[in-house]
C-alpha cells in the first residue's frame, strides 16, 4: 500500500510499504477514506519530537471502512464506517476506567522510553514517535487499529467524511480545552492559537455558555475563521494583547486561558524569541513556551489555564510564581477522545456544530508532502488539509 512516511526533518514521502495485518485478536484493519494533517504533525515534521525513525508512517486523524476484524472484535463488522480516535486505549485499565484514555496503561509497548522523558508513560498514539508506541499512522491506504473494540465510533447515517473526520482529534481536543475552563455564564475566555484546535475551542466555549471568547494569533486568515466561530480576534503583531485583554475584562484578565499553540510558539518579542529558539536548538530546552507564559501571566487571579497545545519535554522561564501566588489552576492533557465521541457526534448530527468549516485544502494522499509544506509555511491561507488515499 501507499503511506506517507517521515524521512527526516522537513521531509515526508509517500512510499510503498507492506499492508497492515491483524496482529492481535482486538485489532481491525481499516481502509482509510479520509485522513488529515494535524498541527501536531508539524512538530514531527520540524523534528522537535524525539524518537522518530526514518520510514515511520505518519497520521493520527483518520477514518474509513473496516475491511478485517480480529476474533475478539464483536462490535464492528467488515463494511462498517468508523472514525478512529488518535490515542490507543485498552478500555480496561485503571486509567481507562476513569475515562483518561490518553493515559491508558496498556497501549505503549515502549513505555520505558516514555518514562525516561515524561516520568510515567501515556497511551500509545498512531503515527507519533516510538516514545509513544511506534504505531504506524493513518496517512495511508490502510491502517491497523489496535483495540478496535474500544476506540472507533461507527458512523451509521449519511454524514459525510468531512463532517465527522475531526472527531478523531481536533474537535474533541478543542472541546476538552473549553471544558477544562469550567465555563460559567458571563465568563471571558482567551484562546492562544487560531488554528483548527483553537477554532474548535472557541466554538466549544460558546456552546458551553461563555460570554465572550477572545482568540490570539498573527495570521489574519486564521483569525477570520475564528471570528466566524464567534471569537473576538486579536492580532498580536498589531495590538498589545495584555492591554486588549485588560480592556475587555475590567482590568482583571480572562476567567480562563487556553493554550492551543504548544511547543513551537512564535513570539511578539524578538529578543525572547531568539533566547528560546537558541536554547531549543542547542537542546537546553525542548519547547518554546511563549504562548503558555502569556496565558499564565494574563489569566485573572484564581483563574484556569488549560493546555491543549502539545509539549514534548522541558521549558525555560516558566512563571511558577504567577501560578502559585495568584491561585491559578493549571490543567493539561492529550485529549481523552473516546469519552467525547458519542456526545460530539450527536452535536454534529443535530447541527449544533459542523466541523468541516476548518477545511481549506483537499489533496490526494500522493500530495501529502506538498500538504505538509503548505500547512507549515501557511501558504495559500492553509488552515486544514484533508488527504484522500
Ligand atoms: Zn491531531
Ligand atoms: Zn487502558
- Centre of ligand 1 to C-alpha 34, Å, is 14
CA distance 365 to 52: 21
**On the CB side of 242, how many CA atoms lie within 13 Å of its CA?**
7
CA distance 70 to 63: 18
Residue 270 has pLDDT above 90, yes or no: no
Counting ligands in written order, which one lies closest to the CA of residue 103? Answer: 2
8 Å CB contact between 189 and 306: no
- Centre of ligand 1 to C-alpha 40, Å, is 6
What dotted CATH number matches 2-169+335-388?
3.90.180.10
- Centre of ligand 1 to C-alpha 92, Å, is 24
Give the pLDDT of residue 271.
Answer: 81
Tell me the DSSP string of 141-170. Answer: SEEEETTTTTS-EE--SS--HHHHGGGGTH
- Centre of ligand 2 to C-alpha 46, Å, is 30
CATH 3.40.50.2000 fits 171-332, yes or no: no
Residue 322's alpha-carbon distances to 92, 271, 310, 313, in angstroms, are 38, 22, 21, 21
Q: Rounded to a whole number, what is the distance in angstroms from the first to the last CA of the chain?
A: 10
Which residue ranges does the chain devote to CATH 3.90.180.10?
2-169+335-388
CA distance 283 to 117: 13
Which residue ranges does the chain devote to CATH 3.40.50.720?
171-332
Q: How would you label 72-105 residue by residue, b for 16+ Cβ within 10 Å and e otherwise?
A: ebeebeeebbbbbbbbbbbbebebbeeebbbbbb
Counting ligands in written order, which one lies closest to the CA of residue 174? Answer: 1
CA distance 192 to 29: 37
Counting ligands in written order, which one lies closest to the CA of residue 93? Answer: 2
8 Å CB contact between 45 and 376: yes
- Centre of ligand 1 to C-alpha 196, Å, is 10
Neighbours of 361 (CB within 10 A): 20
Q: How would you label 44-68 residue by residue, b for 16+ Cβ within 10 Å and e otherwise?
A: bbeebbebbeeebbbbbbbbbebeb
- Centre of ligand 2 to C-alpha 270, Å, is 43
- Centre of ligand 2 to C-alpha 112, Å, is 17
Counting ligands in written order, which one lies closest to the CA of residue 39? Answer: 1
CA distance 190 to 198: 10
Give the pLDDT of residue 240.
Answer: 96
Neighbours of 366 (CB within 10 A): 13
Residue 94: strand pairing partners: none
- Centre of ligand 1 to C-alpha 87, Å, is 10
What are 44-79's pLDDT values in tens digits?
999 988 899 999 999 999 999 999 999 999 999 999
Cell of 316: 525555560
Counting ligands in written order, which one lies closest to the CA of residue 99? Answer: 2
- Centre of ligand 1 to C-alpha 128, Å, is 10
What are 239-265's pLDDT values in tens digits?
999 999 999 999 999 999 999 998 877
- Centre of ligand 2 to C-alpha 108, Å, is 10
Give the pLDDT of residue 146.
Answer: 98
pTM confidence score: 0.96
Sole residue written with cell 531568539? 274
What are 101-143's pLDDT values in tens digits?
999 999 999 999 999 889 999 999 999 999 999 999 999 999 9
- Centre of ligand 1 to C-alpha 62, Å, is 10
Position with higher pLDDT, 267 vs 124? 124
Give the pLDDT of residue 317.
Answer: 86
CA distance 385 to 41: 12
Cell of 285: 530546552
What are 271-322's pLDDT values in tens digits?
888 887 888 787 777 777 889 999 999 999 999 999 999 998 888 889 999 9
- Centre of ligand 2 to C-alpha 11, Å, is 33
Which contacts of 358-363 are long-range, i.e. CB under 8 A and separated by 24 or more positions? 358/166, 358/170, 358/196, 358/199, 358/200, 358/225, 358/383, 358/384, 359/162, 359/383, 359/384, 359/385, 359/386, 360/384, 360/385, 361/385, 361/386, 362/386, 362/388, 363/387, 363/388
Give the pLDDT of residue 274.
Answer: 84
Q: 65, 58, 41, 33: which is closest to 162 by C-alpha? A: 33
Q: Where are the alpha helices (DSSP H) in the chain?
A: 39-45, 94-97, 111-118, 161-164, 170-180, 196-207, 220-228, 241-248, 270-281, 290-298, 320-325, 337-349, 368-376
Residue 23 has pLDDT above 80, yes or no: yes
Give the pLDDT of residue 275.
Answer: 81
- Centre of ligand 2 to C-alpha 107, Å, is 7
- Centre of ligand 2 to C-alpha 188, Å, is 35
- Centre of ligand 1 to C-alpha 356, Å, is 15
| Averaged confidence pLDDT in the chain | 95
Residue 92 has pLDDT above 80, yes or no: yes
Give the pLDDT of residue 259.
Answer: 97
Give the pLDDT of residue 349.
Answer: 97
Counting ligands in written order, which one lies closest to the CA of residue 85? Answer: 1
Name, in order, each residue with C-beta under 8 angstroms of 135's C-beta and a sequence gap of 6 or more. 88, 124, 125, 126, 127, 128, 144, 146
Ligand 2 ion: nearby residues, β-carbon < 5 Å: 89-90, 93, 96, 104, 106
Q: 29, 125, 38, 86: which is closest to 338 by C-alpha? A: 86
Amino acid at each position: 500500500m501507499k503511506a506517507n512516511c517521515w524521512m527526516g526533518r522537513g521531509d515526508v514521502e509517500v512510499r510503498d510499504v507492506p499492508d497492515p495485518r491483524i496482529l492481535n485478536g482486538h485489532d481491525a484493519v481499516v481502509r482509510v477514506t479520509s485522513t488529515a494533517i494535524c498541527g501536531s504533525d508539524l512538530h514531527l515534521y520540524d523534528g522537535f519530537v524525539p524518537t522518530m525513525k526514518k520510514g515511520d508512517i505518519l497520521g493520527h486523524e483518520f477514518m474509513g471502512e473496516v475491511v478485517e476484524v480480529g476474533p475478539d472484535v464483536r462490535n464492528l463488522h467488515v463494511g462498517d464506517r468508523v472514525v478512529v480516535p488518535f490515542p490507543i486505549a485498552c478500555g480496561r485499565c485503571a486509567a481507562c476506567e476513569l475515562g483518561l484514555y490518553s493515559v491508558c496503561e496498556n497501549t505503549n509497548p515502549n513505555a520505558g522510553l516514555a518514562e525516561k522523558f515524561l516520568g510515567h508513560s501515556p497511551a500509545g498514539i498512531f503515527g507519533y514517535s516510538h516514545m509513544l508506541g511506534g504505531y504506524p499512522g493513518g496517512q495511508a491506504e490502510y491502517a491497523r487499529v489496535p483495540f478496535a473494540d474500544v476506540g472507533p465510533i461507527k458512523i451509521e447515517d449519511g454524514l459525510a467524511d468531512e463532517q465527522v473526520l475531526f472527531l478523531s482529534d481536533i474537535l474533541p481536543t478543542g472541546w476538552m480545552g473549553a471544558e477544562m475552563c469550567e465555563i460559567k455564564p458571563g465568563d471571558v475566555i482567551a484562546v492562544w492559537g487560531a488554528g483548527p484546535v483553537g477554532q474548535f475551542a472557541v466554538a466549544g466555549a460558546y456552546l458551553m455558555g461563555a460570554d465572550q471568547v477572545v482568540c490570539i494569533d498573527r495570521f489574519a486568515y486564521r483569525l477570520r475563521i475564528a471570528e466566524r466561530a464567534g471569537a473576538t480576534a486579536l492580532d498580536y503583531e498589531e495590538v498589545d494583547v495584555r492591554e486588549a485583554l485588560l480592556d475587555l475584562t475590567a482590568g482583571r484578565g480572562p476567567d480562563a486561558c487556553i493554550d492551543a499553540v504548544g511547543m513551537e510558539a512564535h513570539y511578539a518579542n524578538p529578543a525572547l524569541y531568539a533566547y528560546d529558539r537558541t536554547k531549543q536548538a542547542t537542546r537546553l530546552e525542548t519547547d518554546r513556551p511563549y504562548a503558555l507564559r502569556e496565558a499564565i501571566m494574563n489569566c485573572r487571579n484564581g483563574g484556569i489555564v488549560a493546555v491543549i497545545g502539545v509539549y514534548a519535554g522541558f521549558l525555560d522561564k516558566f512563571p511558577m510564581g504567577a501560578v502559585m501566588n495568584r491561585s491559578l489552576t493549571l490543567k493539561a492533557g492529550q485529549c481523552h477522545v473516546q469519552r467525547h465521541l458519542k456526545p460530539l457526534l450527536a452535536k454534529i448530527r443535530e447541527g449544533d456544530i459542523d466541523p468541516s468549516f476548518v477545511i481549506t485544502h483537499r489533496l490526494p494522499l500522493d500530495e501529502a508532502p506538498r500538504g505538509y509544506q503548505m500547512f507549515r509555511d501557511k501558504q495559500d491561507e492553509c488552515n486544514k488539509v484533508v488527504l484522500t488515499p
